[in-house]
Structure 1
Amino acid sequence: MSAHLNLSHLTIALDAPDAPALATFYATILGWETSRIESQTVWVNVYPAEGTAPFSLGIQQVENYRAPEWPNGDIPQQAHLDFDVASLAESEPLVLAAGATKHPVQPSKNGNFIVYLDPAGHPFCLCQA
């Protein structure tokens, strides 16, 4: 018998130079809410409507933040987010208007996902559902 966590919620945390700004970006593209927590560092939670998902994003402000350099570079990507969407064509203008940029490197051979950078430089993908 293996033991496991009795998990009630999962938070995926991202570092950022400006936590409120990056949280606003993700809340905008996902249609979620934000709540700010002040402590030794600035932390902003980004979460869906209550009961709709067992996870959220946590955006943590860090001094001297350095964006990942994907696909090659001195600062490797440590993680990235994939968002399955009904239509890549309809979703792209939304993420670009919110502040994302389309990455010049697009590794998808068949075009079923597109790589973007969020305003803090984290790679994320829109994936055809």
Structure 2
Amino acid sequence: MTEQSVQTPIATFDLTVLDTAEPRKLAEFYCAVLGWRIEDASDDWITIRGSGGAGLAFQLAPDHVPPTWPDREVPQQSHLDLNVPNLDVGEQRVVALGARPTGIPGGDSTFRVFLDPSGHPFCLCLNAG
């Protein structure tokens, strides 16, 4: 890749979109976790953002089947890594909002894996900074 191609992007990143049977419920979960707000909402699509940059969207998928990762029956398609200053406090807060711990060990105690209310995996990662 040339230096010119790096300086001239083809596109800009806008959203990560998650399928869910309950867009509003999942949007409210991530608003509470990230301190973001709902930017746009309809019956089948909700977008949330923070003060700037990329956001998350939740698309109605009535037949959504959550991944069973690490079991490969329904494999993980993607996951979010969310930085926290304290894993114990972060875990307590996301569980209170409806996340479920997976019990999957987090290497070197630097991250923990959860499932959001629709069953999507996400990690709380210890922010070393």
TM-score when scaled to structure 2?
0.87
Partner SS for 1:15: strand
Q: CA RMSD, aligned part only?
A: 1.5
Counterpart contact for 1:102–1:117, Cα < 8 Å? yes
Counterpart contact for 2:20–2:59, Cα < 8 Å? yes
Partner SS for 2:91: helix
Which AA in structure 2 matches 1:34? I
Superposed CA deviations along residues 67-100 of structure 1, whole A, max 9, x for unmatched, are 0111123211110000111111111111001100
Counterpart contact for 2:104–2:112, Cα < 8 Å? no
Distance 1:56 1:109 in 2: 28
Unaligned runs of 5+ in 2: none
Alignment coverage as a number of residue pairs: 122
% identical equivalent positions = 34
Partner SS for 2:114: strand
Unaligned runs of 5+ in 1: none
Which residue of structure 2 aligns with residue 86 of structure 1? 85
Higher helix share: 2
The answer to whether structure 1 residue 5 and structure 2 residue 10 are counterparts is: yes
